[in-house]
Amino acid sequence: MNLVCIYCKREKPKDQFNKEHVLLSAFGNFPTKNSSPQLKKEVCTKCNQFFGDGIDNFFARQSFEGLKRLEYGNDSEAKGLHKQVYFKMKSYNDDQKTPSPIFYMDRERKKLDIAYGICLFKKNNENIIADLFLDTRDPRSPTLTSIDPSTPFNHSEWIDSIERFEICCKGDTQRNLIQSILHDWGIEIDLSDEKLISAKSTHGPMKGNAEFIINAYINNDIYRAVSKILFNYATYILGANEVIRKEWDDCRSFIRFNDAKIEINIDTDPFWDSDPQNMRFEKNSIDLRFENFKGNIIGKICFYGYWTYNIVLAKNRTVKDNLLSGHYFINGCKPQNAFKIKKGLGIYVPTIGINEVGQYFKKYRKL
């Protein structure tokens, strides 16, 4: 018996197909009966291996989501994380080479010490005179370290003189990440201006006022990895006969061959919306859903309460209302159908799995 792979669309014998996790196993175990949600015979061995060696590996080890999954995912996967995580910082002058922030692994505990770092650029007459890395493994007493150990700096003198520094990258998708990091350092950020961000530090080496220009860059492989999770999820809910249709071809080609353009945007709006109240779940959940929007099928996914990826999965195609689906995934818990949350007294309470995950939703319940 031959089957058709949902990614390469090639017909192959049944024994040339592998199981494919809807969500990467590195992000947790979400047991349904005996295993996490899987596609049993929809992805061929060749495509499965291609993803595993490529975008899946990259996403689990070198993305911001890959960092956060060490807090909420499987600890056994921590040893696989690269020391240098893909969050590229660029200097003020494009010809200046600036390294990425470094994230340190505690090999003994197999846990990650998240040393959130920012490259600081001291400017003198519009010229960079130093590229420095702020090591914040101990946020109570961060130390400023030169990228080049052979070049000595008087750090205390440098810090005292700092009035302005800039963080320049490509795109504008991870402002909330920087905001969260800087908040941990006692720096409150004013996001009222879209491009120029004012900040005031209450403690630490940047005490006082400073200004930031913050942008960030997300590698195309990250978009492909996120799109694949949503594509897998749609297949799991709707079946292979639906996603094999030509309306899904652009997204399929983008994921498998990176040779098609699809519509993708990122927002920080509440993920789950319903009248009269919007809500996000706690930061240890991965939330997925798909919906009809302007005649297309849109997939949405949010990792740990940060931003939401919105991706066009199928063009000029819609799903019947009774097939629309949304789930939230918490490591160690059965995936919960978010559409089975009922409204009570103006608040939301899960109708199923309350004993498993109720502790995470206390703030949504009235005593």
Question: Which residue has 């492909």 as its token pair?
Answer: 224
Structure tokens at 88: 């590229």
pLDDT at res. 31: 82
pLDDT tens digits, 146-166: 333 344 434 344 333 333 333
Show pLDDT as tens, one digit a residue, over the chain (367 residues): 899 999 999 999 999 999 999 999 888 888 876 667 899 899 999 999 999 988 998 888 767 677 667 667 665 444 444 433 323 333 223 333 333 333 333 333 333 333 333 333 333 333 333 333 333 333 333 333 333 334 443 434 433 333 333 333 333 333 444 455 444 444 444 444 444 444 444 444 334 433 333 333 456 888 899 999 999 999 999 999 999 999 999 999 999 999 888 998 877 777 876 543 445 555 678 999 999 999 999 999 998 877 788 999 999 999 998 888 889 888 888 888 877 654 332 233 332 222 222 232 222 222 1
Burial classification of residue 159, based on how many CB atoms lie within 10 Å of its CB (0-12 exposed, 13-18 middle, 19 or more buried): middle
Find the length of the chain. Answer: 367
C-alpha 27/C-alpha 226 separation (Å) is 13
C-alpha 203/C-alpha 177 separation (Å) is 20
Of 189, 173, 171, 190, which is closest to residue 181 (Cα–Cα)? 189
Of 348, 337, 333, which is closest to residue 72 (Cα–Cα)? 333
Structure tokens at 66: 């890959």
Residue 296 sits at φ, ψ, to 5 deg, of -120, 165
Read off the pTM: 0.61
Run of H or E residues at 265: strand 264-267
Run of H or E residues at 250: helix 249-257
